[in-house]
Amino acid sequence: MKLKNRFQRKEKKYLLTEEQYAYLQQHFSLMQMDQYGKHTILSLYYDDSDFTLIKRSIAKPNYKEKFRVRSYGCQEQNGPIFLEIKKKVNGIVYKRRLQIEDQQLATFNQQPKRIAVDPSDQQVKSEIDYLVERMHLYPQVLIAYDREAFFGVDDEDFRITFDHQIRFRTDQLDFHHGSSGEKVTSEFAILMEVKALGAYPLWFSQLLSQAKIYPGSFSKYKDVYQHHLSTTNNIQRKEEMHYAS
């Protein structure tokens, strides 16, 4: 499996207990774990000083967008870094991203347009530059989790991920500081995301029914914002940190 830079698909989330997760793992013969095995993902979410992007997302419009920088593995492990712009239109997720070098991230945060990319990625880069400049985006929170990712043996576009130990921090917003952070929620044990271009395979639909697993609603950034960032004091503190830098 290669990391793709362009996606168009439906995504559903499921909030699992440890028992439901174990049951699924026992019946995953038609799924294969990707080449990374269980790995740590760090996502640096960008927003403006008023958290406009996440507030729009919470309002559940037909169109919403977000921007983040994602690292697959802590940087001492030399994992790849991606600039990602993610849009959701009428339930369909569109994600476009481009890979950058580790040392380019600091430059991007200071002067986004100075990042040079391959001509084939210029359109994506232009979209990112426009969003970051128009919305005055800057890093707000880092969210980390330990992920297992699987793809279908017969259909590589059918993907399932399991996210464990979801955590966050609002300081040391640098991948080089590792993945430590405060636990995001205790409402469930594991977040499962299912990504498909069309209908689920019949065997998987039956498996969900047998395990009594049903779609849920959860957004990592939304949960962090609503429970940890949305107070007046926290917003004021983030603004002061931004303008002091």
- Chain segment 68-80, per-residue pLDDT in tens: 999 987 655 566 7
Give pTM, 2 decimals: 0.87
How high is the pLDDT of residue 225?
Answer: 95
pLDDT at position 103 over 90:
no
- Check whether 240 has a pLDDT greater than 70: no
CB neighbours of 91 closer than 8 A, spacing ≥ 6? Answer: 10
pLDDT at site 232: 43
What three-state secondary structure class fits 154? coil
Angstrom distance (rounded) from CA 224 to CA 36: 27
**What is the per-residue pLDDT for 242?**
53
Beta pairing partners, 31: 152
H or E segment to which residue 130 belongs:
helix 122-135
What is the percent of the chain where pLDDT is above 70?
88
Does the pLDDT of residue 2 top 90, yes or no?
A: no
d(C-alpha 77, C-alpha 79), whole Å = 6
Which residues, in sequence order, are CB contacts of 157 under 8 Å at separation 6+? 9, 151, 195, 196, 197
Q: What is the mean pLDDT of residues 155-163?
A: 95
- Give the range among 82-86, 90-94, 145-149 with minimum mean pLDDT: 90-94
What does the alpha-carbon distance between residue 113 and residue 105 come to, in Å, rounded to a whole number?
A: 12
Pairing mode, strands 92-100 and 138-152? unpaired
